[in-house]
Amino acid sequence: MSKENLTKDELTNQISEEEGFQIKYLTHLQIGIIYFLFSFFSIILQLLVFSSFYYKRELLKRKCFIIIFHHGVLSFIQQICHILTSIIIIFYIQKIELLLTIIGSLLNSTFIGSILFIFLLTLNRFDVFYNLNFFNIIEKRKFYHYAIIVCYILIVGLFSIYLYPSFSTTFDLKIYQWKYVHSKNCHLGYQLENKTIYIFLGISFLLQALIVIKIFKLRCYTSKPILLIYENFRILIHAFMCFVTTLFLELIWSGIIFKFYWKGSWLILPTILFIFHSVSNSIFILCFVK
């Protein structure tokens, strides 16, 4: 089978067995330090965001910021996992499959959870601009409160699923990437991750497109600038940028774009982008949501 027809995990397994794809210019110590620095920087940024929420607690009175905060919690969990992974790489620690399974399960479940929160934030912005009648039936704060609880329940459920041996993941120290432990049995786990991500990203993109159309209509039919539009548009930009980084990472994992990274030093690119994805939420908050 050609590499173009392989799934992400099948390709990862094949690459790990080919000596020609070994990283020749970087040692495990150098790669581990690179991962550690990226992860440490990510945690610092996330702590800055948390401190902003602490000193501006009035922000948490708004539903959109509550969602953003919980998205940040998942990002922080991912960053801790990346830090632990970098330490494992630096010291080249082996035979710790249980720990790697737990870290991999946390990364998978919180990554999917972050997509759920992107969708929830986009839905919140859609509600603000379109004032959905559905949300008038129930108290909006309660709706989002319960939606956040449901998201966490799903995350815990996904974490449990990815702990199951047939769906568990491990970190390959040959190519420095996460892969399913049992590649022949991982199809369902991979499809669960892949389809869930694409479905919620697709719905989010549709809602964001409708919001942009609504914004243009409001600007055309309103003679005076509306501050509310600007404030909500900044939060929409945050949601959209999180959407873009997630989609970009998923397209790379699926082998749809940038297949060249499978060779040489480019092997570390997917994991670096994975780390960047976990901090992108913090960067976009600091840039667009002040």
The lowest-confidence range among 89-98, 155-164, 209-218 is: 209-218
Report yes or no on 65 lying in a domain.
Answer: yes
Q: Would you place residue 235 in the very low, low, confident or very high pLDDT band (cuts 50, 70, 90)?
A: confident
Residue 62 lies in a domain: yes
Residue 180 phi, psi (nearest 5): -70, 140
Residue 17 is assigned to a structural domain of this protein: no
Q: Is residue 22 part of a domain?
A: no
Q: How many domains are contained in the chain?
A: 1
Q: Does the pLDDT value for residue 7 go beyond 60?
A: no
- Rounded CA-CA distance 119/205 in Å is 9
Whether the predicted pLDDT of 258 surpasses 70: no
20 domain residue, yes or no? no
68 in any annotated domain: yes
- Amino acid at residue number 240: F
Q: Is the pLDDT of residue 212 over 80?
A: yes
pLDDT in tens, 116-148: 999 999 999 898 888 776 656 567 778 899 999
For residue 21, tell me if it sits in a domain. no
Residue 234 inside a domain? The answer is: yes
CATH number of the structural domain spanning residue 32 = 1.20.1070.10
- Which helix (H) or strand (E) segment holds residue 270: the answer is helix 269-288
Identify the domain containing residue 38 by its residue range: 3-12+27-288
Of the candidates 273, 285, 271, 206, the one whose C-alpha atom is nearest the C-alpha of residue 245 is: 273
